[in-house]
């Protein structure tokens, strides 16, 4: 069966994550009949066939319809001339059928994180050793999250020591009514803030924790043991302050998170943030960044971005690989600074309003690694977080195209990471 995605991309918008959200009426209204994925993937989750990062049999393809930069500029200049001329006279150049360039991208079988086998192992052993699986909290420091999304309700960390909506800081942690996390950007407990800016955080939360078997998509982790703590530290323009991010990190650690996803970064070096991260007991998973102003990825060993380029050993920096096994053209890389790549192009996940969409960027790749780390940490009670890091990097599925671009030369293999260093019988 072939799953085909059709989409339009304007060249000028290629690098902008938010630009990829507008054109998907097919996914506009929650759970529908949609396209059925391979039944093996996640029975009941009818969109899971789009989640090539979990399982890729080579059947997924994307039809991209784009126009050349030259055509775009010609149209823009023509429109500008027309406006400058008072909107009369020669009409501006319009898009003609010949201007559209169609490209079909075909996925390559096996470029995935071997998630099915990992789930089977986890589920089979869960029946026997349920009590000994670790409960893991993943802190997502990002924009807001639509905490009411049907896929996320059972995925969220709950502060059981806090009574909601009574205006009192019941657990005395310094934050009033912090039930699923906190908003460090606006300094309040509102986690669902804006339908547009919350796309970024909601998408990452779905990749890690969307419910399995209830329709829609499938998150990487088991809601019974892995939860997402929502920490908003970025505003509606995607920016935030060093102070708010540091405060969110301190909150995460103080309230039991062990893995911290940071799908954010910039070229400015923040020494205090670096100190706080290096001295934290958490494992950080950070995005390597989406290239320069023209959307072209670059070597962050030569031109650092932070926090991806911080050298602390409790940081995993993540680049973005496409479903063909190549690094995405927009993804930053670095043989020393970037540890691993992960699926980050045409990533299907949750967005606000019970909807779903495809997004592209290293911001989508980092939550993949956070989800894998969380499952390994939950399953492998014999490992500490540095052991989890070693397992994920040491068992990575090597891809020739990534050699020399990321330190481990591959993408996560969830099954191999969970069984890293173990003798598996049968």
Residues contributing to the site for Ca ion (CB under 5 A): 45, 162-163, 166, 168-171, 173, 175, 177-178, 211, 214, 216
Give the 3-state secondary structure of residue 67: strand
**Minimum Å distance from CB 176 to Ca ion?**
6
Do residues 288 and 317 lie in contact, with contact meaning Cβ atoms separated by under 8 Å?
yes
The active-site residue out of 107, 280, 331, 363 is 363
E strand or H helix at 367, and its extent? helix 362-379
Q: Which is nearer to Ca ion, 67 or 351 (CB)?
A: 351
Q: Which is nearer to Ca ion, 191 or 406 (CB)?
A: 191
Q: Does the active-site annotation cover 200?
A: yes
Taking the alpha carbons at both ends of the chain, their separation in whole angstroms is 31
Q: Does the active-site annotation cover 142?
A: yes
Tokens of 398: 């090597």
CA distance 347 to 349: 6
**Minimum Å distance from CB 253 to Ca ion?**
15
Q: Which is nearer to Ca ion, 304 or 367 (CB)?
A: 367
Q: Which is nearer to Ca ion, 162 or 247 (CB)?
A: 162
Q: Peptide bond preceding 150: is omega within 30 degrees of 0, i.e. cis?
A: no
C-alpha pair distances (Å), 139 with each of 148, 180, 187, 373, 402: 18, 10, 17, 12, 28
The active-site residue out of 142, 178, 198, 339 is 142
CA distance 60 to 346: 11
Backbone angles phi, psi at 296, to 5 degrees: -105, 125
**Minimum Å distance from CB 151 to Ca ion?**
5
CA distance 101 to 164: 53
Tokens of 140: 């997502």
CA dihedral angle for residue 349, residue 352, residue 355, residue 361, rounded to 10 degrees: -30
C-alpha pair distances (Å), 334 with each of 265, 362, 369: 15, 13, 17
Task: Please name the residue ranges forming H helices in 256-349.
Answer: 271-278
CA dihedral angle for residue 128, residue 379, residue 228, residue 384, rounded to 10 degrees: 140
**Minimum Å distance from CB 55 to Ca ion?**
15
- What is the pairing mode between strands 259-262 and 410-411? unpaired
**Minimum Å distance from CB 246 to Ca ion?**
19
299 Cβ contact partners less than 8 Å away, ≥ 6 residues apart: 332, 333, 334
Do residues 252 and 231 lie in contact, with contact meaning Cβ atoms separated by under 8 Å?
yes
The residue number with the shortest CB distance to Ca ion is: 216
Q: Which is nearer to Ca ion, 350 or 419 (CB)?
A: 350
Q: Which is nearer to Ca ion, 216 or 291 (CB)?
A: 216
**Minimum Å distance from CB 85 to Ca ion?**
54
CA distance 306 to 137: 24
347 Cβ contact partners less than 8 Å away, ≥ 6 residues apart: 51, 53, 203, 207, 358, 359, 360, 364, 365, 368
**Minimum Å distance from CB 54 to Ca ion?**
12
**Minimum Å distance from CB 210 to Ca ion?**
5
CA distance 6 to 4: 6
The active-site residue out of 45, 146, 200, 309 is 200
Active site residue ranges: 142, 200, 363
């Amino acid at each position: 069966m072939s799953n085909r995605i059709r989409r339009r991309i304007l060249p000028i918008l290629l690098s902008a994550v938010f630009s990829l959200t507008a054109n998907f009426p097919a996914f506009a209204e929650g759970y529908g009949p949609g396209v059925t994925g391979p039944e093996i993937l996640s029975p009941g989750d009818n969109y899971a066939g789009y989640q090539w990062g979990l399982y890729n049999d080579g059947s997924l393809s994307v039809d991209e319809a784009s126009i050349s930069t030259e055509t775009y500029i010609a149209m823009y200049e023509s429109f500008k001339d027309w406006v400058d001329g008072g909107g009369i006279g020669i009409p501006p150049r319009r898009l003609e059928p010949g201007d559209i360039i169609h490209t079909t991208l075909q996925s390559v079988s096996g470029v995935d994180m071997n998630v099915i086998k990992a789930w089977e192992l986890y589920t089979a052993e869960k029946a026997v050793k349920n009590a000994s699986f670790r409960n893991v909290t993943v802190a997502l420091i990002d924009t807001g999250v639509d905490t009411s999304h049907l896929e996320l309700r059972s995925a969220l960390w709950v502060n059981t020591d806090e009574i909601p909506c009574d205006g009192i800081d019941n657990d005395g942690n310094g934050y009033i009514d912090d039930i699923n996390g906190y908003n460090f950007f606006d300094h309040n407990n509102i986690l669902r803030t804006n339908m547009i800016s919350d796309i970024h955080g909601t998408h990452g939360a779905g990749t890690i924790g969307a419910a399995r078997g209830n329709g829609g998509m499938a998150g990487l982790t088991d809601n019974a043991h892995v939860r997402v703590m929502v920490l908003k530290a970025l505003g509606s323009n995607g920016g935030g302050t060093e102070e708010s991010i540091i405060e969110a990190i301190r909150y995460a650690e103080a309230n039991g998170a062990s893995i911290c996803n940071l799908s954010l970064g910039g070229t400015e070096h923040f020494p205090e943030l670096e100190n706080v991260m290096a001295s934290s007991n958490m494992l950080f998973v950070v995005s390597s960044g989406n290239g320069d102003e023209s959307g072209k990825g670059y070597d962050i060993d030569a031109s650092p971005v932070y926090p991806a380029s911080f050298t602390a050993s409790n940081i995993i920096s993540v680049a973005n690989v496409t479903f063909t096994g190549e690094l995405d053209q927009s993804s930053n890389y670095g043989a020393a600074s970037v540890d691993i790549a992960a699926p980050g192009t045409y990533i299907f996940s949750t967005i606000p309003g019970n909807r779903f969409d495809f997004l592209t960027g290293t911001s989508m790749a980092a939550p993949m690694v956070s989800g894998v780390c969380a499952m390994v940490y939950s399953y492998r009670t014999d490992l500490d977080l540095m052991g989890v890091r070693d397992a994920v990097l040491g068992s990575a599925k090597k891809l020739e195209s990534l050699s020399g671009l990321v330190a481990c030369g591959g993408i996560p293999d969830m099954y191999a990471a969970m069984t890293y260093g173990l003798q598996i019988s049968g």
